[in-house]
Structure 1
Amino acid sequence: MFTPSFLNGVEYLKISVLGCGRWAAFLAWYTESLGNQVMVWGRETSKRYQRLQDTRKNDFLMLPKQVSLSHSLDETISFGEIVIISISSQSLRSLGKQLHALGNIENKTFVLCMKGLEIGTGERLSRILLEELGAGIKVAVWVGPGHVQDFIKGIPNCMVIGSDDIAVTRQIVDEFSSNLIRFYYGTDLLGIEIGAAAKNVVGIAAGMLDGLQYTSLKGALMARGTKELSNLIEAMGGDPMTVYGLSHLGDYEATLFSLHSNNRRFGEDFVRGEVSDTLAEGVYTVEALMDLARIYKIELPICQAVYNIIKGSQDIKGELLSLFLRPVKAE
């Protein structure tokens, strides 16, 4: 159980947020709004951290003055009982090694608010953290639909918390639920993580269809993309129905259609020959999914098409349209 602190008789938790991008800043803003004490860590050389330190603002929100900022990882880890991590997925293993070297992690709960798979291994993020910090630590993931731009306007949404330990899941849901975010319990961590990561790849494909003026095909893309990833989750030993929940299908509106979606925008810019200046995790995830497809000997035609295009296929339209012209068979 979390051990609350008290200030003037009011109960609160100490929360550390590792990362200073737009989602990390929102998580600090949100958890502080629930009455908790929050400290945000960013690298001293990071332009995002420097901007928060100088102005307490980014392009979307202003951090309350009660939120502390630190470029000391040791100080930030020591501060929080709950440690929220929101960084690039490919940087997690390196961060895990740093945390292990610092120590003082045994009694903390780590919440991964990020989506992706490791290139070269296809490893899930929760597994990476367990490998680096030790099997005894408590790890959960927080995923699902929602954009900072909508949340700060007071537009609510539903999200999911998943862990291999249902007690940890329930504690986080109880602490972080509000009228702005309604949380659901996730019971299939493998399926949640694969689904949450893979929806970004489908988002890139959706953006490519937008760029080619084939937006009407996104309905078929949604249906087949969901089925494709359910097959992978089942092959890996997860529940194939998990992909139809909030972590994947439930996040499609925010990822395949929203103007705020980095992955959709990347796909649209790519087929138009424009350079995207936003982080699109699906670019890395599709490489990891190709690794998993080989390991589990399963076809992932949408992911394969996105991979081929990003890696230099000259026939972008042909690659995408081939997905909808495959041999006739029962759905």
Structure 2
Amino acid sequence: MSNKVAVLVAGSWGTALASVLAHNNLEVAVWTRNIEQVKEINEKHMNSRYLPDAALPANIRATTDMKDAVDGAKAIVIVAPSSAMREVSNQLKAYWTEGTLVIHATKGFETESLKRMSTVISEELGCDEGNLVVLSGPSHAEEVIKKCPTTVVVASANAQAAAAAQDLFMNSYFRVYTNRDMIGVELAGALKNIIALGAGMSDGLGFGDNAKAALLTRGLAEISRIGVEMGANPLTFAGLAGIGDLVVTATSRHSRNWRAGSLLGQGKALGEVLDSMGMVVEGIRTTKAAYVISSKLGVQMPIVDQLYHVLFMDRDPRVAVEALMGRDPKTEMEIMPQEIWEQWHT
């Protein structure tokens, strides 16, 4: 049995996951298009652009040749940005062998099609989406690379595939749970970035803890509402992929989404914020996708709606907050159709 795992690509999260796999005594091949990044990883055992000052295990090898990276690998971990997922998956198709475990750890939607990442991968590889695995949960790369205790979830309709992914990553500081609700885990991981943007914006406006607690709580209600409509298990949103990831992304300065939101709340223009970040802020793309999806499905997502108007329609953040606070009175508990509960109870 091969002891090799391929990781595509070498951003902060891909590098952190490669480090976990390397610490589990696996041979890790990391693919990137950047030749300078390859040299630094192979010669200095560092990836200073994304994780400065972090020493990488010697059994991580980088390459610009995707065929070389995936040849003989027993598993392939895709950590491409959502905007590049289709392109990377299409390139992988020429080298992927049917039956090789494919895990993705990307949080977002394809902007044009509004499809989840597992759908995009399955379309390009020509494989059954149910055999893919998604890895998600509260996990900052900056802490994982330091071996800080971290818990995540791997989800797949294929229980054997999820268990195999669990075995690959599980160790003393990286605890992995399994879940059969791939849809819910993917939606939770993508949509929480929107609420994290809002939480950063609230902090940037100086609104304090009360406002942020309300934003996270009602944001989770919106995530659950659209998730159930799209076929997710409502209990998933109370787990690691849901509330766990929401809390860590919306309250930490490691979070790009929180930082971007904070700058917006301080009055910075969106273009200026994106230029200053230097890395992808998935929540911005995801806000646009969620706004369109919720409109098509007729699902109310007032926080998403206001953030969409702030990001793309030049609405003042304070005006957006006033609109949220001035909505008609509501009951806190949205009634979920009985057939939904019965579906997931069995």
* TM-score, L = length of structure 2: 0.87
In the alignment, which residue of structure 2 is the partner of 1:10?
Answer: none
Report the CA distance shift for 1:122/1:60 in structure 2 as closer, same or farther (over 3 A). farther
CA distance in 1, matches of 2:61, 2:38: 12
Bigger proportion of residues as helix: 2
1:106 aligns with 2:98: yes
CA distance in 1, matches of 2:154, 2:182: 9
Asked whether the 8 Å contact 1:159–1:182 carries over to 2, the reply is: yes
Q: Please point out which of 227, 238, 261 is paired with 1:267.
A: 261
SS of 2:218 mapped into structure 1: helix
State the number of aligned residues: 319
Cα displacement (A) at 1:75: 1.1
1:323 aligns with 2:317: no
In the alignment, which residue of structure 2 is the partner of 1:24?
Answer: 14
Report the CA distance shift for 1:104/1:84 in structure 2 as closer, same or farther (over 3 A). closer
Q: Please point out which of 68, 85, 100 is paired with 1:92.
A: 85
1:313 aligns with 2:314: yes
Between the aligned residues of both structures, percent identity stands at 29
1:256 aligns with 2:250: yes
SS of 1:183 mapped into structure 2: strand
The CA RMSD over aligned residues, in Å, is 1.7
Asked whether the 8 Å contact 1:60–1:149 carries over to 2, the reply is: no
1:39-78 equivalences in 2 (<5 Å) = 39-44=29-34, 48-49=37-38, 51-53=40-42, 55-57=44-46, 58=48, 59-78=52-71
Cα displacement (A) at 1:54: 5.2
* Paired residue type of 1:222: L
Cα displacement (A) at 1:71: 0.3
**Structure 1 portions without partners, runs of 5+:** 6-12
CA distance in 2, matches of 1:60, 1:130: 36
Cα displacement (A) at 1:50: 5.2
In the alignment, which residue of structure 2 is the partner of 1:8?
Answer: none
SS of 1:248 mapped into structure 2: helix
In the alignment, which residue of structure 2 is the partner of 1:154?
Answer: 147
Cα displacement (A) at 1:60: 4.7
Cα displacement (A) at 1:51: 4.0
CA distance in 2, matches of 1:184, 1:269: 35
Cα displacement (A) at 1:270: 1.9
Report the CA distance shift for 1:291/1:314 in structure 2 as closer, same or farther (over 3 A). closer
In the alignment, which residue of structure 2 is the partner of 1:9?
Answer: none
CA distance in 2, matches of 1:213, 1:41: 42
CA distance in 2, matches of 1:270, 1:291: 22
Q: Which moved more, 1:168-177 or 1:15-24?
A: 168-177
In the alignment, which residue of structure 1 is the partner of 2:219?
Answer: 225
Report the CA distance shift for 1:60/1:194 in structure 2 as closer, same or farther (over 3 A). farther
Cα displacement (A) at 1:63: 1.9
Q: Please point out which of 188, 192, 215 is paired with 2:181.
A: 188
**Structure 2 portions without partners, runs of 5+:** 333-346
CA distance in 1, matches of 2:38, 2:298: 43
Cα deviation digits, residues 111-160 of structure 1 (max 9, x gap): 10111111122100001101111134731011000212222333202110
Asked whether the 8 Å contact 1:206–1:215 carries over to 2, the reply is: no
1:119-268 equivalences in 2 (<5 Å) = 119-136=111-128, 138-216=131-209, 217-268=211-262
Cα deviation digits, residues 58-97 of structure 1 (max 9, x gap): 2152222221111001111214110011111110011111
